[in-house]
Amino acid sequence: RQRTLSANAIVIWLQALAGDPETTPVLITGDLNSYAREAPVEQFQEAGFTSLVHQYHPCLPMQCEHYTYRYQGQKGTLDYALASPALMPWVERAQTWNINADEPRALSYHQTPDQSGPWRSSDHNPVLTDLNLSPTR
């Protein structure tokens, strides 16, 4: 319930700050700690925001290769790049980078913080979003 209230508060705050998402480009990114079909994410979708990874890589949950978290063998998405309708023309692509969620906990970033590679730098896979912000758009 608290995450749903927080999502609603963010939507209201963004509308007050940036105006109509239909005309103002807005990108929300981060760990929402909610799966795609849970109420907090649905709050953003009802406000007009699009989950970019799901937009570019539609798939069934059990067959999806674009996930950000794995818990007890189950994979899902907790991290998002959510775009307002006005931002969509600038979005080139979005995807997850599968470098963390599947790595063994023994390789955890907590154990060896000075690792030079990206693997297991977090317990979540990052979401990569490419935007074309050229002034000719």
Give 23-52 pLDDT, tens digit per residue.
899 999 999 999 888 999 999 999 999 999
Instruction: Render each residue's pLDDT in the chain as its tens digit; 137 residues.
Output: 899 999 999 999 998 988 888 889 999 999 999 988 899 999 999 999 999 999 998 887 667 788 888 888 888 889 999 999 999 999 999 999 888 767 666 655 566 666 666 666 778 889 999 999 887 75
Give 122-132 pLDDT, tens digit per residue.
788 899 999 99
* Percentages of the chain per state (helix, strand, coil), in multiples of 5: 30, 20, 50
Token reading at 111: 């154990």
Determine the residue type at 91: V
Architecture of domain 2-131: 4-Layer Sandwich (3.60)
128: number of Cβ within 10 Å:
13
Domain assignments of the chain as residue spans, ordered by start: 2-131
Helix (H) or strand (E) holding 54: helix 52-56
Closest residue by Cα to residue 48 from 23, 31, 16, 66 = 23
Determine the residue type at 131: L
**pTM for the full predicted model:** 0.84
